[in-house]
Structure 1
Amino acid sequence: MNKLILPGRVMFAIGIAGLAILCFVYKDFIVGRPPAWSLPFNLTSIVAYISGAILITASVAIIINKKGARASMAIAALIFIFSVLRHIPQFMNDWLNTYKSVALFGGALIVGSTFILDDPQRYTGNTQSQRNIFILTGKLFLSTFFVASGYAHFKFAGFVTDFIPAYIPFRTFWAYFCGVCLIAGGIGIFVPGISKWASLLSGIMLTGWFLLLHIPRLIAHPTDASDRMGLCESFTFAGIFFVLAGILWNKKQAKSLY
């Protein structure tokens, strides 16, 4: 359903561009919140500037629908090389952000898959198979991240409760409720018949967090690095889930994934 895929692509691209700008601000590749590495400072900055420029260029390409597949794959490659690979050796120390970086990588694959079918003449058995691999891989990584995040809402309930703005009542309830929603969404995107609804509702939930949680937190803490990244990440993930919902809403496309 293009009514979901197109705005989802734009949301994803804007979120990635925002994270790319933060790469310039913090002079490091921060997409997926990778741990610090031992490169010389100047080299770290060079990597940040080059990768940030590529991310912005790729984001623009996705928005204007020019070589969107290559642009999405470039984003996926940068996240894998400069975030996922940095996380893996320190997985036990920062497992949730490891899952986040993997989910962003998978999300880029999902977005990229939607461009493969833009030219009907290229819709052959091979491209369909490639597209399905991208989507299934992305779904697996998104699901893992959502389930892990839901678990974190229970394990670190006190932190999550304090993270919710004070103007929202019953914060402890919402902390647990959102944890349940995350787990349900992560599992639901793999259940035939409800996967499209799980994706759509997850996108709506993340958009709600962007508006009700992350914007107020950024206003309250405009220089906080975590809140800046959280704002961009929530918008990026919302876009990914809208794209996924658009894919799954097409019965023919969804059937090929099961």
Structure 2
Amino acid sequence: MDKLIRPGRIIYAIGIMALGVLCFIMKDFIVGRPPAASWAANIPGKLAWAYVSGSLLILAGLAVIFNVRGGIASLLIGVIILLFSFVLRHLYEMIDWINAYKALALAGGSFIVAASFFQKGGNDQGTLAGNSKLIFTGCLFLSFFFIISGLAHFRFADFIKSGFIPAYIPFHPFWTYFCGICLLAGGIGLLIPGLRKWAALLSGIMIGGWFILLHTVRFANDTSNSSDRLGLCESFTFVGILFVLAGMLSKKQ
């Protein structure tokens, strides 16, 4: 399972680079979904920031793929997302809370990817302690998002059943609640050291399935829909993060 680290990094980097491209297309910093419209409208130099941030994400993704200071690049991605997609958001509706937690999870996932590079930097106490903190923080952020998303499957079940799952997939009520339970289980598993490796692996496979069966289909049906563009890139990024985490934890054992 430790062989998942390298492909996981590549998947993560491609997802981040795709989000960087969307910054140019949508003319906004869109990682973890953009802030509330009233907040975003008043940002000075918003267009310039969109292009600069998009460029940074693309360059950082390339650094991860080619292993050129990939740890620093991943850490930079995490800090940018944490500051601009989580800390500076307006959180006033449940849907915005979910997207804010998604930003938190993407930031935490970036910290996990960073730790996978720093892991090779040495075995001294400081390096090991720093890696453990990055991994724990990343797992905490991912877990929080998974649990919130799992609960959302029950709170917003009608929307998911009728407006989100593609028509070709049968048994919408079953998949709505089943996936909600899986998200809750994955979120809880990431908090328990003995289950963390398997929670990461199974959650990565699950989200990979959603990427193929759900997000790819929704995007193909309406390529101009900004939410579906983001969902496609975000889900792919999460798959990479979770595979890196599963590989790292397997390597430790």
Whichever residue aligns with residue 116 of structure 1, its letter is F
2:12 paired residue number: 12
Cα-to-partner distance string for 1:53-72 (whole Å, 9 max, x where unaligned): 01000000001111001100
User: What pairs up with 1:1-258 in 2 under 5 angstroms?
Assistant: 1-35=1-35, 36=37, 37-38=39-40, 43-87=45-89, 89-92=90-93, 94-119=96-121, 122-162=122-162, 163-252=164-253
User: What is the CA–CA distance in structure 2 between the aligned matches of 1:251 and 1:65, rounded to whole Å?
Assistant: 21
SS at match of 1:193: helix
1:255 paired residue number: none
SS at match of 2:224: coil
- How far the C-alpha of 1:185 sits from its partner, in A, is 0.4
Cα-to-partner distance string for 1:177-209 (whole Å, 9 max, x where unaligned): 000000000001222332211110000000000
SS at match of 1:194: helix
SS at match of 2:169: coil
In structure 2, stretches of 5+ residues that fail to align are: none
Report the CA distance shift for 1:217/1:118 in structure 2 as closer, same or farther (over 3 A).
same
User: What is the CA–CA distance in structure 2 between the aligned matches of 1:143 and 1:130, rounded to whole Å?
Assistant: 20
Counterpart contact for 1:161–1:172, Cα < 8 Å: yes
User: What is the CA–CA distance in structure 2 between the aligned matches of 1:230 and 1:134, rounded to whole Å?
Assistant: 25
SS at match of 2:167: coil
Counterpart contact for 2:28–2:34, Cα < 8 Å: no
In the superposition, the TM-score normalised over structure 1's length comes to 0.92
Counterpart contact for 2:140–2:190, Cα < 8 Å: no
SS at match of 1:28: coil
Cα-to-partner distance string for 1:3-54 (whole Å, 9 max, x where unaligned): 1111111111111111111100111100001323245577111000001101
Counterpart contact for 1:103–1:142, Cα < 8 Å: yes
The ranges of structure 1 where at least 4 consecutive aligned residues each deviate by more than 4 angstroms after the TM superposition are 38-42
Whichever residue aligns with residue 183 of structure 1, its letter is L
In structure 1, stretches of 5+ residues that fail to align are: 253-258
SS at match of 2:120: coil
User: What is the CA–CA distance in structure 2 between the aligned matches of 1:191 and 1:134, rounded to whole Å?
Assistant: 16
Cα-to-partner distance string for 1:140-162 (whole Å, 9 max, x where unaligned): 00000000000000000011112
| Identical residues among aligned pairs (%) | 53
User: What is the CA–CA distance in structure 1 between the aligned matches of 2:133 and 2:123, rounded to whole Å?
Assistant: 15
User: What is the CA–CA distance in structure 2 between the aligned matches of 1:193 and 1:85, rounded to whole Å?
Assistant: 31
User: What is the CA–CA distance in structure 2 between the aligned matches of 1:182 and 1:103, rounded to whole Å?
Assistant: 13
User: What is the CA–CA distance in structure 1 between the aligned matches of 2:84 and 2:192, rounded to whole Å?
Assistant: 32
Whichever residue aligns with residue 196 of structure 2, its letter is S
Give me the CA root mean square deviation: 1.5
Counterpart contact for 1:11–1:238, Cα < 8 Å: yes
Whichever residue aligns with residue 233 of structure 1, its letter is E
User: What is the CA–CA distance in structure 1 between the aligned matches of 2:215 and 2:28, rounded to whole Å?
Assistant: 22
Whichever residue aligns with residue 217 of structure 2, its letter is P
